[in-house]
A and B are shown apart, each in its own frame.
Chain A
């Protein structure tokens, strides 16, 4: 099982890399540099000559290759999890990851063939984050520390604020993806002021989305600080809570700074991509904290090492139960 956990971590890290590659595609405006899909300029994707990886093709083709690799890794992850994981919901999660990555691939192809319609591109970005969340969850719940016994966190408030923070961060990422894909990244070209004031003097759809992202950033900052303060105050001894909470504070501060520089640098591609990836890391960290807080509510008792082993042990358990009753 330790190898499954290591492998799940590899898939999660690969997914973060894939998000970075996708971020570079959008940030450099290379989304249509390869007009066909699943082929690349008529070549089979994996035989496209390296000498032709020029200009925007480098970003788009690299993204496709990493995506294919992550897709393959996810197939293995789903099968491996199904083979050795005793918890049914974790096995199902493995296949949910597989379904998500297949759908993600189709959305990626569709958005190219349909010439980047915002709805499909935003859906592609949104599903990327959900897929990352699934791979992170698999990496967390297959870890030895997840299975180690620890007293439950009987803190209803902590459950509520960690879950709310995770949902808020994801919503903020959706607004950010919408802003990127409708080309509203510089709809408000000044920072920190908004056209010299606090609110826009006029409203258009791009300005409204951009402004919503800035307001969302403030709300997320507040939620993260509130979560971290709660953890520090009430669960100072629980390192499995304090560590992700403090990391989340560090990441969200970096995220706000990167967001400012995205505007001030006029959407410099590397800064822009760093903002996208760091946003995913903020979400992942909040998710890890939430999962740990909810751990005792969602973990099923382990029966054995694999579904087959569990089935083999079932008659023995039934016999023992009859003996106890008898």
Chain B
């Protein structure tokens, strides 16, 4: 057979090879440069705050678990989407982070990995943060199949199956990305959002919408609050040495039908 006639098959084989390799690469750990500025924790301040929501919050729709008897058995009372998690007027699952203003500070990358679990046919936690270069362990604690489909824009898209309980994959992200969505295409209600940050100043609201950004050096910062359905809000805050500032973000509930 002539080489020319083999060309289409070679192209297809190359494409398949490229596809199977995509998403499997793990970035090398990116330690800060030796001459990077370090935060003096004895002079650092804190931003604490709360994210609230005003208006009538739409009810989270129920999840149809009928497609997987295991999932149904793990949620005997049924399950709902986590579009809006509200407690005491505070909005939870909001990713709050320093968007701008840190300059050329350098930060060590935590050695301990962050875990994203698939438990009860839900991602736990639903919203989380991880550092560039830090390990993210995606685990399957369910006795059913999941596929882990990450849809990064700057960190790439990949899809990996976890057919058995206790399977896990470890990923390291190369660049900052807010937010990197994860989904399971087997159970199409399963979504998680990962904020990939190049510094440690981020938090996910909990306990009635509260957050805290500790050990911030003095400076002027743009703080952003991100919510999966309500988008983003930003505020600017100027922090002096050892100062603590309060911030409140207030989102407006969407009109009916935009759930």
CB-defined A-B contacts under 8 Å, sample of 14: A28-B188, A31-B185, A32-B159, A35-B149, A41-B163, A42-B163, A55-B67, A55-B68, A56-B67, A57-B145, A57-B186, A110-B16, A115-B22, A115-B157
B70 in the interface, Cβ–Cβ < 8 Å?
yes
A106 in the interface, Cβ–Cβ < 8 Å?
yes
- Name the A residues within 8 Å of B161 (CB-CB): 34-36, 41-42
In the complex the two chains form, is B188's CB within 8 Å of A56's CB?
A: yes
B28 in the interface, Cβ–Cβ < 8 Å?
no
- Name the A residues within 8 Å of B69 (CB-CB): 54
A30 in the interface, Cβ–Cβ < 8 Å?
yes
Binding site for A on B (CB under 8 A): 12, 15-16, 19-20, 22, 67-71, 144-145, 147, 149, 157-161, 163, 184-188
Task: Across the interface, name the chain B residue whose C-beta is closest to A37.
Answer: B16
**A16-48 interface with B by 8 A CB criterion:** 28-36, 41-42
A164→B211 CA distance, assembly (Å): 64
Q: How far is the CB of A42 from chain B (nearest CB, A)?
A: 6
A36→B147 CA distance, assembly (Å): 10
Task: Across the interface, name the chain B residue whose C-beta is closest to A31.
Answer: B185
A57→B12 CA distance, assembly (Å): 25
Task: Across the interface, name the chain A residue whose C-beta is closest to B190.
Answer: A55
In the complex the two chains form, is B16's CB within 8 Å of A56's CB?
A: no
In the complex the two chains form, is A55's CB within 8 Å of B186's CB?
A: yes
- Name the B residues within 8 Å of A318 (CB-CB): none
In the complex the two chains form, is B185's CB within 8 Å of A29's CB?
A: yes
In the complex the two chains form, is B16's CB within 8 Å of A113's CB?
A: yes
Chain B CB count within 10 A is highest, among A28, A57, A114, for: A57
Q: How far is the CB of B27 from chain A (nearest CB, A)?
A: 19
A12→B12 CA distance, assembly (Å): 28
A86 in the interface, Cβ–Cβ < 8 Å?
no
- Residues A54 and B12 in contact in the complex (CB < 8 Å), given A41-B161, A42-B163: no
Task: Across the interface, name the chain A residue whose C-beta is closest to B157.
Answer: A115
A36→B185 CA distance, assembly (Å): 13
In the complex the two chains form, is B15's CB within 8 Å of A114's CB?
A: yes
- Residues A32 and B185 in contact in the complex (CB < 8 Å), given A54-B70, A115-B157: yes
In the complex the two chains form, is B19's CB within 8 Å of A110's CB?
A: yes
A29→B69 CA distance, assembly (Å): 20
